[in-house]
Chains A and B, each alone.
Chain A
Amino acid sequence: MPAWDSLSENSKRLFAHQMEVYAGYSENADHHVGRLLDSIDAMGELENTVIVWIWGDNGASLEGTPTGTFNEGTMVNGLPLTDDEQMQLTLKWGGVEAWGTEMMYPHYSTAWAWAGNTPFAWGKQVASHLGGTRNPLVVSYPDRIKDPGMRSQFTHVSDIGPTILDMVGIPQPTHVDGVEQQPMTGATFAESLEDAGAPERHTQQYFENFGNRAMYKDGWWLAMRMPRVPWRLDPEMLKTFAPGVWDPDADPVELYYLPDDFSQANDLAASNPDKVKELQDLFWAEAEKYNVKPLLAGFSPFFGILPPLGTNTKVTYHGNVQNVAPGLVPRIYNHSYTISADLHIPDGGAEGVIVADGGHLGGFSLFVEDGKLKHTYAFLGVFEYRQESERALPFGDVNVELTFAADEAKPATPGTLTLFVDGEPAGSGRLDHTVPFGFSGYSGLDVGQDTGLVVDRNYADKAPFAFTGTVKKVVFDVAPHLDDQDEHDLHEHASQGHTVRGVTA
């Protein structure tokens, strides 16, 4: 992470704005939670309501890369961007004022995450340290908590359920709808809310997240961080953690005693080898008990261990299908594919979207405008590729199709996109870059319109730009001309992409 003084004036300003936007988000969340509390108060139930407020689901995220990014999708897809490129792309999508609006999918720089987690070290993904695991917790229940203030008993997120059940007097369920339930692993901390001096109930806890580990017991914390920074999730880096290559017990360890060392500043490992060994052994026992092993199973696609290969390569959508979730959209990445549609165009013509996936920060749209068949491919907000038919579409029943002929079956392959009308070539163009993992983590696929944020901002003023004729069906063929090796290689790549998505979720 660069030192502040080493940054250009532009970078300083942009970095500052990144944090301003985050602060704005925090203010917004606070405001709306306040509205909820006001409503409960207006009902006269505030004193009799248990409110549990946890600020975050992990430490601040370090996934924005050292520059911060206008589109987190670039990191997910392994597209490195320089400071200058980030600024140019920020300018492209509306400048600093658009950072934090729907025009971007931004993430602040790793340095801000580091600062935000202070006084703790590290952040999201790094379960070995409190920067990745400790969040502020506030509990309000005026009818029962008569001595509000700070509490220092160690608690874990798994304690929340048992605590609520305890406070409201409901036993933990052993069966739900006839299905036997696993026992809750947490312990109630209700007693500590009423009595600041109550004993600590949650006396030991393992932590593990994609290989980063910690073991807590009776105030002692053993940190076992794998040598990987959170924003490096590429195959080259992950090779170093393959089975037989990485020995987790050889990772450096740090030992802290939290009652005396809130921020994990005083590493006691060297002077307490017995405690280190005790906690290392306890971690492995807990890992066995709670199905943590095999360690790094989540990264298995990077080690040649893949889920079964799907056999269905053709998907047909009939009628007005909307918002198919990203993970369910036919995978058109890294190889040739075709998408065809049967349309009915009334006399006088039609316009609108036939099928669209994602948005302007990653996606594609096949649509009709000015009588012509058009295709836009949004490469992560970095490039837009557009093709259109040379002539207008006829009226009546029409079949349109696009084919993407990949130069090679490989991640991010370039290729040639050709439009067809009733089987005849009608226009073509190059896609010099294609998205290797996924267009979007949120925006889905629509047939007959482009809901939410549109793929091509040129028709944003007509959104959702519903097709004014009829889209009878849309057919994806996602595996034309693949040989077995290509199919395997791309499946491996897709599985790795899903893993990265999971890590950054």
Chain B
Amino acid sequence: MSDDQKDVLIAAYLFEDLADKDFGAILKLAEDKTITIEGAAVVQKDPDGEVHVTEAGDHLGRRGAKLGGGTGLVVGLLAPPLLAATAVGAAAGATVGKFAKHRIESGIGEKLDAALPAGSGGLIAIYDSGGADAVDAALANAVRKSVAHIDGLSAKDLKAGLAEAQAGMGG
């Protein structure tokens, strides 16, 4: 499968620490170069439906990476209104339109809303589609999983949009 094909995984959990456990398993796969990831994040959807990022990892499998870099694409997909404004900063609002467009085209927004009921924890990861089986096997504790596909072009656009957002945040 071409590396241009990316999968966006949304996994939901009954227990947040088990999301963190699976998150660690995904990062380990990336660190071992078994899969190639763009980034991963543990998120919490609060009772009001707002999504907060509680943990993030980058494309090298490093835990605790700050927003930006490899984790940015993951976080970018969650830009407002799905992601609480406080989690990404007001500057991200500048690119809301661009992200929203891609969310709609890929169905990610609907999948995220359906997969993560208010009050639940989840794991989001973007990786090359070739790693799908390994990722699926690593998610031992997910109660519900949903995968959306985005092509390379969309991913590129998303990255570009994200860079724009990050520039705004930096300023």
Interface check B75, CB cutoff 8 A = no
Interface check A228, CB cutoff 8 A = no
* Shortest CB distance A387–B (Å): 20
Inter-chain contact count A-B, CB under 8 Å? 41
Interface check B119, CB cutoff 8 A = yes
* Shortest CB distance A445–B (Å): 28
Interface check B30, CB cutoff 8 A = no
| Distance A98 CA – B15 CA, assembled complex (angstroms) | 13
Q: Is the CB of B14 within 8 A of A14?
A: yes
Instruction: Chain A residues near B141: list those with CB within 8 A.
Output: 8-10
Instruction: Chain B residues near A84: list those with CB within 8 A.
Output: 143
Per the CB 8 Å criterion, the residue count for chain A at the interface is: 17
* Shortest CB distance B140–A (Å): 8
Interface check B25, CB cutoff 8 A = no
Per the CB 8 Å criterion, the residue count for chain B at the interface is: 13
| Distance A94 CA – B143 CA, assembled complex (angstroms) | 13
Q: Is the CB of A13 within 8 A of B14?
A: yes
Q: Given the known A-B contacts A10-B18, A87-B14, are A94 and B117 also in contact in the complex, defined by CB atoms under 8 Å?
A: yes
Interface check A92, CB cutoff 8 A = yes
Instruction: Chain B residues near A93: list those with CB within 8 A.
Output: 117
Q: Given the known A-B contacts A10-B14, A13-B15, A14-B14, are A98 and B119 also in contact in the complex, defined by CB atoms under 8 Å?
A: yes
Q: Is the CB of B120 within 8 A of A95?
A: yes
Q: Is the CB of B18 within 8 A of A95?
A: no
Interface check B144, CB cutoff 8 A = yes
| Distance A93 CA – B118 CA, assembled complex (angstroms) | 9
A92 contact from B13, B15, B18, B117, Cβ within 8 A = B117
Q: Given the known A-B contacts A90-B14, A91-B12, A91-B14, are A10 and B143 also in contact in the complex, defined by CB atoms under 8 Å?
A: yes
| Distance A286 CA – B127 CA, assembled complex (angstroms) | 72
Contact residues, B122-171 vs A (CB, 8 A): 140-141, 143-144
Most buried by B among A8, A14, A84, A91: A91
Interface check A88, CB cutoff 8 A = yes
| Distance A90 CA – B117 CA, assembled complex (angstroms) | 10
Binary interface encoding of chain A residues 454-480 relative to chain B, with 1 for a CB under 8 A from any of its CBs, else 0: 000000000000000000000000000
Q: Given the known A-B contacts A87-B143, A94-B119, A95-B117, are A9 and B18 also in contact in the complex, defined by CB atoms under 8 Å?
A: yes
Instruction: Chain A residues near B14: list those with CB within 8 A.
Output: 10, 13-14, 87, 90-91, 95-96
* Shortest CB distance A381–B (Å): 13
Q: Which 5 A-B pairs have the closest CB atoms?
A: A87-B143, A95-B120, A91-B143, A94-B119, A13-B15
Assuming A13-B14, A87-B14, A94-B118, what are 6 further A-B pairs, CB within 8 angstroms?
A8-B141, A87-B143, A91-B14, A95-B14, A96-B14, A97-B119
